[in-house]
Chain A
Amino acid sequence: MSGATEIQNLKSRDPFAEADEDSGQTTQTQEYIHIRIQQRNGRKTLTTVQGIPAKFDHKKILKVIKKEFACNGTIISDTESKGMGEVIQLQGDHRIKIRDFLVDNESGLGLDEKTIKIHGF
C-alpha cells in the first residue's frame, strides 16, 4: 500500500513526449483522444475531437459524422491547430455521441474506451 507509485506520465513509449508537447512540437504518439466542448455565443457550442489516430481517414469520418449527427463540421489541419494534429470540429455538443461512435465496433471505429477522454462540464 504505502509507497506505491503509478507513473501515468511514462506510459507512452517516449518519455520526453510531454516535454515536446510543451514546447509546441508534434508528438508521434498521442495517448488519448480528447473530446472537448467550447462555448460560443449564446447557447451555441463546439465539439472538438483531438487525437484520432492517423490510420483513420479523418475526412471520411467527418462525412459520416456530419450525416449521422445532422450537424456541420470541419477538419482543423495540423498547422492550424498549432501542432496538435488534425482536429475534427463539430457544431453543437456531440460529445457523448462522438464517444459512442469512436467506441462502436460495427458502425464506428472500435477504439478502446479507455483511450478517450471527455472534457468539459
Chain B
Amino acid sequence: MVATPNDDTKDTAMSHTPRTPPLSAALGAFTDASSAPADSAADGAVPAADSNPDGLDLSLMKKKKKKVKKEEDGEAAEGEAAAGGDEAIDLSMKKKKKKKVTKEEDEFAKKLEALKLEGGEGAEAPADENVQDGDMDKGTGIWQHDETRTINYDPLLSRFFALLAQKNPDHASSGTRSYKIPPPQCLREGNKKTIFANLPEICKRMKRADEHVTAYLFAELGTSGSVAGSGQLVIKGRFQQKQIENVLRTYIIEYVTCKTCRSPNTELSKGENRLYFITCNSCGSRRSVQAIKTGFSAQVGKRRKMQQG
C-alpha cells in the first residue's frame, strides 16, 4: 500500500542522517502514534495531534474531526466513514477494513495509520506555506541541531543524495548514470542544406574541438559543408535530427567515452607519431584512437563537369 514505501524511505533517510536526532525523535513520535491507539482508543485523536506538534494544517484538522465523529458513530458507520475518510486509499485497503470489522482495536489502528498516511500526503501542501529551508551543511534553519519540527520527505531525500554524492565522489562518474548531451538542433536551409545549430554547445559538453566533431560528421555522413557565422554548421544534404544524433552517438563511443571505465570525462590529445590519444580523467587509462578518415567518397552530381574540368 501507499503507506509502506513512504515509511520505508523515511526510515532509510533517517538512518543516513545521524546529525539530526530531533528528526528521529519526531519520527518516533509519529510511529508511536500509530501503535498507541491500541492502548488508548478513547483519546485516539490526541496522539495524532502529538505527532505533529507544530499545529497541523487545515486538512489534517478536518480529518481529525472526521475521526472523532467516527468514534462516536461506532462500528455501524465505520464502513462508510472509511470510504469517505480516505479517498486516497485504494480498494484493497477498504476491503481489508471490512474484513476486520469485528476487531475494533485493529480497525482503529488501521484507520489511524490511514490518517497518518494522509497527514504525510497532506504535508506536501503545507510545505509551500512554511518553507523548510536552511543550509544543510551549516546546520541552519530546519537542519538546526535542536530543531524539533518534522523535516519533510523531499528535503530529507535530497539530503540523502547530497550526502551520498559527497561521500562517494566516484559514484557519480561511474557508468551507472547515462551520459547526456543536448539534442542536436537541425534546421533546413533551402532544399539541400541542413543547419546544425547547437554544434558549439554540444562540443563544449563533450570537451572536443568543433573541428574534430565537424570532420567526423562530414566523414560519416559522406558530405561536406561549412561553418556559418555563429558557429552553426551548414551541412550539404538533408539530414534529420535523429540521423545527426546517431552519428554523434557513435562519435561519443569512439572519441569521448573511456573504454575502461566508460566515463565521458576524457581528454583527446595529439600524441607522438600523429596518433591521437584519449586520456581518461577518472581512471587514468589512455588509449589511442583512429584518426578521422573520409575514405572513399563517390562523385555525387556534376560528374560531367568534373570530368571535363
Do chains A and B interact in one complex? yes
Residues of A within 8 A of B297 (CB): 36, 38, 48
Q: Does A46 contact B (CB under 8 A)?
A: yes
Closest chain-A Cβ to B199's Cβ sits at a distance in Å of: 16
Whether the Cβ atoms of A121 and B288 lie closer than 8 Å is: no
Cα–Cα distance between A84 and B297 once the two chains are bound (Å): 10
Interface residues contributed by chain B, number (CB under 8 Å): 35
Closest chain-A Cβ to B252's Cβ sits at a distance in Å of: 15
* Chain A interface main SS type: mixed
Q: Does B284 contact A (CB under 8 A)?
A: yes
Known: A46-B300, A121-B246. A38 touches B289 (CB 8 A): no
Binds B, one of A3-11, A64-72, A107-115: A3-11
Cα–Cα distance between A18 and B286 once the two chains are bound (Å): 20
Q: Does A116 contact B (CB under 8 A)?
A: no
Closest chain-A Cβ to B281's Cβ sits at a distance in Å of: 11
Q: Does B203 contact A (CB under 8 A)?
A: no
Cα–Cα distance between A1 and B259 once the two chains are bound (Å): 11
Closest chain-A Cβ to B35's Cβ sits at a distance in Å of: 51
Q: Which residue of B lies closest to A3 (CB)?
A: B284
Binds A, one of B89-97, B140-148, B218-226: B218-226
Cα–Cα distance between A36 and B296 once the two chains are bound (Å): 9
Residues of B within 8 A of A89 (CB): 298
Q: Does B59 contact A (CB under 8 A)?
A: no
Query: Which of A8, A21, A81, A120 touches B288 (beta carbons < 8 Å)?
Result: A8
Query: Which of A2, A5, A121 touches B243 (beta carbons < 8 Å)?
Result: A121
* CB neighbors of B among A3-46 (8 A): 3-10, 18-19, 21-22, 34, 36-41, 46
Residues of B within 8 A of A7 (CB): 275, 287-288
Whether the Cβ atoms of A38 and B244 lie closer than 8 Å is: no
Query: Which of A21, A87, A121 touches B221 (beta carbons < 8 Å)?
Result: A121
Interface code A43-76, partner B: CB below 8 Å = 1, 0 otherwise? 0001010100000000000000000000000001
Q: Does B3 contact A (CB under 8 A)?
A: no
Residues of A within 8 A of B62 (CB): none
Query: Which of B220, B287, B291 touches A18 (beta carbons < 8 Å)?
Result: B291
Q: Which residue of A lies closest to B192 (CB)?
A: A41
A-B contact pairs, 15 of them (CB 8 A): A1-B284, A2-B284, A3-B286, A8-B290, A10-B288, A18-B291, A36-B295, A36-B296, A38-B297, A39-B221, A40-B300, A119-B219, A120-B220, A121-B220, A121-B247
* CB neighbors of A among B270-309 (8 A): 274-275, 283-291, 293, 295-298, 300-301
Whether the Cβ atoms of B295 and A39 lie closer than 8 Å is: no
Query: Which of A5, A19, A40, A76 touches B296 (beta carbons < 8 Å)?
Result: A76
Whether the Cβ atoms of A34 and B284 lie closer than 8 Å is: no
Q: Which residue of A lies closest to B276 (CB)?
A: A9
Known: A8-B289, A9-B290. A2 touches B301 (CB 8 A): no
Cα–Cα distance between A1 and B177 once the two chains are bound (Å): 20
Q: Does B64 contact A (CB under 8 A)?
A: no
Known: A5-B288, A37-B222, A120-B220. A46 touches B298 (CB 8 A): yes
Closest chain-A Cβ to B286's Cβ sits at a distance in Å of: 5
Whether the Cβ atoms of B287 and A6 lie closer than 8 Å is: yes
Known: A34-B296, A50-B295. A4 touches B238 (CB 8 A): no
